Amino acid sequence: MSQLTFLGSCREIGRSGFFVEDRNESVLVDYGVKFTEPPSFPDMVPTDELQAVALTHSHLDHSGGIPRILSQSEASLFCTPATRDLSTLLLRDMYNISRGPLPYSRKDITLVKRQCQATAYEETVPLGHHFEMTLFNAGHIPGSSMVSVRVNGKRILFTGDFNATESQLNPGARKNLPKHDIVVTESTYARRTNPNREEIELALMDSVIETLERGGTVLIPAFAVGRSQEIMCILEKHGLPYKYPIYLDGLARAVNDVLVKHPEYLQSPQAFQRAVGRTHIINDNRDRTNAVKNGGVIISPAGMLKGGASHLYFKMVHDNPNNSIVLVSFQIPGTPGEELLAKRKVTVGGRLFEVTADVRQHHLSSHSDSRGMLDMLLKIPGEPEFYIVHGESESCDALAERLEKRKCVAHVPEINESIEI
């Protein structure tokens, strides 16, 4: 008998993990963290018969607990080379800034590279006696994958986070997927329709140019992996005049170094190289002060103003109406970014700031919206059963309902629920 257990990401975003067992062997897909205090992880799984750990992508809600598993198992980690290197980077950063104990040591993070068998898209890999695994491009961030596991004559697709719409940084997810019997899918934006991407890019450029032409500085708080690089590529594509400098700070600097080494996962390696070539790297506080003084575009994590160098820049630009703070991602309720959008004032470092700088939002999603998600899922051949995860409870239910209206079988599992395959 084969069995699939949903370890996490059930009616929530965070701590993704899925455990597949067949007779005396098992495979784990993702093992992430949820940033509670202290950080929380899926329940531990038996590792004695673990044949492999597959990782969809590097974001910590999918990768944050991987060292815990690898430290207790000799199983290999299967993911793309870009995911391997980006995960190592993010795990080290999380370890450095964590406010709570983590269930592994800094040394265990090295196992991500040591035990990794880097895997290309479309490559089918045998795992033990009972499993096969194939990775397909997920289009979410560079190197992201959908993981297809074959066991007991059935195929299970774990979509991870996916985006069927191509961007300046990423090619879109593979759409002509093979037949599957079970699909475990994310539902992040199951209740959202994204505006046309070209329109968002043009609106973003208008905000940037308006600010620069009036002598202001543009601060773009952005996620270190994916969003920062996407902004760089957009500014390059739309021809931001060279008289306006572009600065990059925080963890995004190291992410650039990784992506330069893995051009095969980029929409246009040449465009990315051009974008990197015109970007000024910030090294210290003196550079930060000069960047604000000289004017230009500053791209800096964190994307929701929760920390990082973006806090330092915010304090320098918030009180000048010539400046702009441009948010380029969804702002989770309770974050400083969401507070800034709602009130034009925000608490940073325990202090309340009244903001006179212009505040804009141009949401560049790295997930498919409700239409794109449904379109892609309905095209998977084989009349699969759908299991909806990785979304707020309402989003999971909304996607299940829409699939059922199209005569599909859909379920919203609970944490640690198991099903027979």
263 and 205 in a common domain: yes
Mean pLDDT of 307-334: 92
390 and 284 in a common domain: no
Q: Which of 310, 338, 361 is the last residue of a domain?
A: 361
343 and 249 in a common domain: yes
Mean pLDDT of 289-302: 95
Q: Which of 105, 12, 112 is nearest to 63 (CA)?
A: 112
Q: Which of 76, 59, 57, 61 is nearest to 137 (CA)?
A: 57
182 and 207 in a common domain: no
Q: Say what the pLDDT of residue 332 is.
A: 82
Max Cα distance, the chain (Å):
68
Q: Say what the pLDDT of residue 64 is.
A: 98
- Distance, in Å, from the CA atom of 21 to the CA atom of 52, rounded to the nearest integer, reads 11
Q: Which of 339, 361, 383 is the last residue of a domain?
A: 361
Q: Are 240 and 208 in contact (CB under 8 A)?
A: yes
Q: pLDDT confidence of 307, banded at 50, 70, 90?
A: confident
- Distance, in Å, from the CA atom of 7 to the CA atom of 413, rounded to the nearest integer, reads 10
253 and 147 in a common domain: no
Of the chain, the percentage scoring pLDDT greater than 70 comes to: 100
For tokens 């390696």, what's the residue? 269
219 and 123 in a common domain: no
Per the structure, the complete domain to which residue 289 belongs is given by 197-361
Q: Say what the pLDDT of residue 203 is.
A: 97
Q: Say what the pLDDT of residue 52 is.
A: 98
**Residues near 153 by beta carbon (within 8 Å), at least 6 away in sequence:** none
Q: pLDDT confidence of 348, banded at 50, 70, 90?
A: confident
Q: What is the 3-state secondary structure (H, E, C) of the chain?
A: CEEEEECCCCCCCCCCEEEEEECCEEEEEEECCECCCCCECCCCCCCCCEEEEECCCCCHHHHCCHHHHHCCCCCEEEECHHHHHHHHHHHHHHHHHCCCCCCCCCHHHHHHHHCEEECCCCCEEEECCCEEEEEEECCCCCCCEEEEEEECCEEEEECCCCCCCCCCCCCCCCCCCCCCCEEEECCCCCCCCCCCHHHHHHHHHHHHHHHHHCCCEEEEECCCCCHHHHHHHHHHHCCCCCCCCEEECCCHHHHHHHHHHCHHHCCCHHHHHHHHHCEEECCCHHHHHHHHHHCEEEEECCCCCCCCHHHHHHHHHCCCCCCEEEECCCCCCCCHHHHHHHHCEEEECCEEEECCCEEEECCCCCCCCHHHHHHHHHCCCCCCEEEECCCCHHHHHHHHHHHHHCCCCEECCCCCCEEEC
* pLDDT tens profile 186-211: 999 999 999 899 999 999 999 999 99
162 and 44 in a common domain: yes
207 and 183 in a common domain: no
Q: Which of 282, 367, 276 is nearest to 329 (CA)?
A: 367
The mean-pLDDT minimum among 28-32, 73-77, 171-175, 329-333 falls in: 329-333
Q: Which of 385, 373, 404 is nearest to 155 (CA)?
A: 385
Q: Are 49 and 99 in contact (CB under 8 A)?
A: no
Domain count, the chain: 2
Mean pLDDT of 168-173: 96
154 and 271 in a common domain: no
Q: pLDDT confidence of 219, banded at 50, 70, 90?
A: very high
352 and 212 in a common domain: yes
402 and 295 in a common domain: no
Q: Which of 170, 184, 181 is nearest to 138 (CA)?
A: 170
> Exposure pattern of 1-22 as b/e (b: 16+ CB <10 Å)?
ebebbbbbbbbbbbbbbbbbbb
- Distance, in Å, from the CA atom of 198 to the CA atom of 408, rounded to the nearest integer, reads 33
Q: Looking at residue 39, which CATH number applies to its domain? A: 3.60.15.10
Q: Say what the pLDDT of residue 1 is.
A: 82
Mean pLDDT of the chain: 96
Q: Say what the pLDDT of residue 398 is.
A: 98
User: What distances in angstroms separate CA 391 from CA 4, 224, 241, 316, one per listed residue?
Assistant: 19, 22, 40, 35
Sign of the alpha-carbon dihedral angle for 64, 69, 71, 74: negative
Find the helix packing angle between 269-277 and 227-237, rounded to 10°.
90
**Would the pLDDT of 100 be above 80?**
no
Q: pLDDT confidence of 405, banded at 50, 70, 90?
A: very high
* pLDDT tens profile 239-293: 999 999 999 999 999 999 999 999 999 999 999 999 999 999 999 999 999 999 9
Q: Say what the pLDDT of residue 374 is.
A: 97
Q: Give the count of beta carbons closer than 10 Å to the beta carbon of residue 253.
A: 18
Mean pLDDT of 217-229: 96
CA angle, residues 103, 70, 159, in degrees to nearest 5? 95
Q: Which of 319, 336, 361 is the last residue of a domain?
A: 361
Q: Are 136 and 121 in contact (CB under 8 A)?
A: yes
Residue 420: phi and psi, rounded to 5, are -85, 140
Task: Give, rounded to a whole angstrom, the gap between the first and last alpha carbons of the chain.
Answer: 8
Q: Say what the pLDDT of residue 148 is.
A: 98
Q: Looking at residue 240, which CATH number applies to its domain? A: 3.40.50.10890
Q: Say what the pLDDT of residue 99 is.
A: 76
Q: Say what the pLDDT of residue 306 is.
A: 87
* pLDDT tens profile 355-404: 999 999 999 999 999 999 999 999 999 999 999 999 999 999 999 999 99
Q: pLDDT confidence of 331, banded at 50, 70, 90?
A: confident
pTM, two decimals, is: 0.96
157 and 81 in a common domain: yes
